[in-house]
Structure 1
Amino acid sequence: MFVNSTNGHELQSKMRGFRLDRFRGNPKLAARGPPGAFVDPTGTRSRPIRSESIQGRRERSKITTTEVNVMAFSIESPAFRDGDRIPDEYVRDGENLSPPLTWKEAPQGTRSFVLIVEDPDAPSGIFRHWGIYDIPAERDRLPEGTTAGAKTESLGYGVNDFGNPRYDGPQPPKGHGVHHYHFRLAALDVETLHCGEKAKVADILDRAKPHVIAQAELVGTYERA
């Protein structure tokens, strides 16, 4: 049943008047502040719920925008797709070469990159296989076998958990199941991290964290039967 709009407005006005009269005549309700207000538990101040809700939506909007920008930054490898098995030439029992990597859509303000390769499935906790830093901002790739042989570039190499300043591929314990290797590339707002030659990958990661603008990730898997 439809209600006449004029009568409907009159009814709404009466209801609002009733609520206000009820509020004014009740000391307990009056102590809580006007209808639609959030009362501070200390009793010292109140603020409208609507204003808080709008502010919260604005903050969530900012977070969503940031996430969209970060998602545009991506890393991949022509050797394997995200979630696929890492080929034998890139594991420690094979040729132990670092896989070729490419990335795109680095955010504005990027002045360098750092790449960390971690295995969170290791029995002793996170095991770091590779750390390479001070990668120039204009680069968008690392070729196969980047840290193999003599050092020919001005890239910084961290000491991995095998104790080597280079890439060492997957080598999980036999029968331990599938391990996941996270190739994490971070865009930084500084050109160099000023790390020493003997800096461990974990130390490089700690130094890079305050300067991270965005991150991209590629995951490969490997298992030794």
Structure 2
Amino acid sequence: MELESSSFENGGTIPKKFGYKNGNVSPSLIINDVPDSAKSLALVMDDPDAMGAVGKVWVHWVLWNIPTEVTKMDENSIPENSIEGETDFGEIGYGGPAPPDKEHTYIFKLYALDTALDLGKGSTKKDLENSIQDHIIAKAKLTGKYAPQ
């Protein structure tokens, strides 16, 4: 399985408009080679570099029950029937990069699951991780960098 973006290159710089304080628009995501046995997809975007600044991995986006036939998520949108969780901003939905100190690397993790999840809107990354633990068929990763503006 593969996760890419038409908004930025893997390992490249995430454009300013996707930042929390500069538009807060979610980037376009392209999904390829989802296993035939998958029943749903889940996505987590977080910032492990926040550990140094705030003492924890900062959660920017949690999204699940993405239909397996979805091959592209357009900017600032989520697929129909997908459910968004709560970020560490205390909000539901996408929360863009907002590094408080220096350039951080943001990781988008996509999971192919053998089930659809029974999680309510506003669930957390921890809730999602607990739910998918024994259901992951495949994983894909996309990273991007973002510096304070």
Fold similarity call, TM over 0.5: yes
Which residue is 1:100 aligned to? 28
Does residue 130 of structure 2 align to residue 203 of structure 1?
A: no
Contact kept? 1:107, 1:214, Cα under 8 Å = yes
Aligned residues: 146
Q: Deviations over 1:165-189 (max 9, x none)?
A: 100100011xx22211001111000
Contact kept? 2:8, 2:144, Cα under 8 Å = yes
Contact kept? 1:116, 1:205, Cα under 8 Å = no
The equivalent position to 2:5 in structure 1, one of 77, 82, 101, is: 77
Unmatched 5+ stretches in structure 2 = none
Contact kept? 2:67, 2:81, Cα under 8 Å = no
Matches within 5 A, 1:56-205: 73-122=1-50, 123=53, 124-146=55-77, 153-173=80-100, 176-190=101-115, 192-205=116-129
Runs of 4 or more above 3 Å deviation: none
Higher relative contact order at CA 8 Å, sep ≥6: structure 1 or structure 2? Answer: 2
Q: How much does 1:154 deviate? A: 1.8
- Amino acid in the other structure paired with 1:179: H
Q: How much does 1:217 deviate? A: 0.4
More helix by share: 1
TM-score, normalised to structure 2, is: 0.92
Q: Deviations over 1:122-158 (max 9, x none)?
A: 02221110011000111112111015xxxx8321111
- Amino acid in the other structure paired with 2:106: Y
Q: State the SS of the aligned residue for 1:134.
A: strand
Identity of aligned pairs, percent? Answer: 34
Does residue 138 of structure 2 align to residue 218 of structure 1?
A: no
Q: State the SS of the aligned residue for 2:132.
A: helix
For 1:180 and 1:205, locate their aligned partners in 2 and report how far apart those are by CA, in whole Å. Answer: 21
CA root-mean-square deviation: 1.4
TM-score, normalised to structure 1, is: 0.62
Q: Deviations over 1:2-60 (max 9, x none)?
A: xxxxxxxxxxxxxxxxxxxxxxxxxxxxxxxxxxxxxxxxxxxxxxxxxxxxxxxxxxx
- Amino acid in the other structure paired with 1:105: D
Q: How much does 1:198 deviate? A: 3.0
Contact kept? 1:131, 1:159, Cα under 8 Å = yes
